Amino acid sequence: MLSRFWIPSANRRLEEWLKEFADDFDRYKESHQAVILENPAENEAFISATIQAARIAIGTRQKKKRKCLRNALLNIAVGMSQDEVKQQIFLNAIKAFTPAHVKALNVIWRKMGIYLTQVTPKCCGFRNPGWWSI
């Protein structure tokens, strides 16, 4: 009986989130002429991350959290994260944190970035990975 209520809602949330991701993906591709995965549908790491992010997206109605998930996937698609373990850790962090946590982490990350760019040699290429953008 309960499935009559939550299955349509879960399907609606998934369809909305996937459409939003596809729109973000296309916009990013056009505006940055970025090198995006050759064929994301054949990249097992990207597929795993997409499934994990979709599960999280279905479970939340928080728009900012859903946007963080889309940003994380977009960063994976453009090759900013090659390490599957780190991808899983970040996606689980997005799941666990509230948007307020993410905002606080973003502020800390920016402060660290300012500090690290001042003390880190240019060769280290420090930059914000964009996972926490809201």
| pLDDT tens, position by position, 27-70 | 887 877 656 666 777 778 888 999 999 999 999 989 989 998 99
SS3 86: helix
Residue 46 DSSP class: H
Does residue 59 lie in a domain region?
yes
Does residue 81 lie in a domain region?
yes
Does residue 80 lie in a domain region?
yes
Size of the chain in residues = 134
Considering its fold, how many domains does the chain have in total?
Answer: 1
Average pLDDT on 15-34 reads: 85
Burial track 55-68 (b if 16+ CB lie within 10 A, e otherwise): ebbbebeeeebbbb
Rounded to two decimals, what is the model's pTM? 0.71
What is the per-residue pLDDT for 55?
A: 94
Which range of residues forms the domain containing residue 14?
A: 3-97
The answer to whether 78 and 127 are in contact (CB under 8 A) is no
Residue 59 DSSP class: T
The answer to whether 20 and 40 are in contact (CB under 8 A) is no
What's the burial of 85, exposed, middle or buried (CB within 10 Å: 0-12/13-18/19+)? exposed
Sign of CA dihedral 20, 21, 27, 28: positive
Does residue 102 lie in a domain region?
no
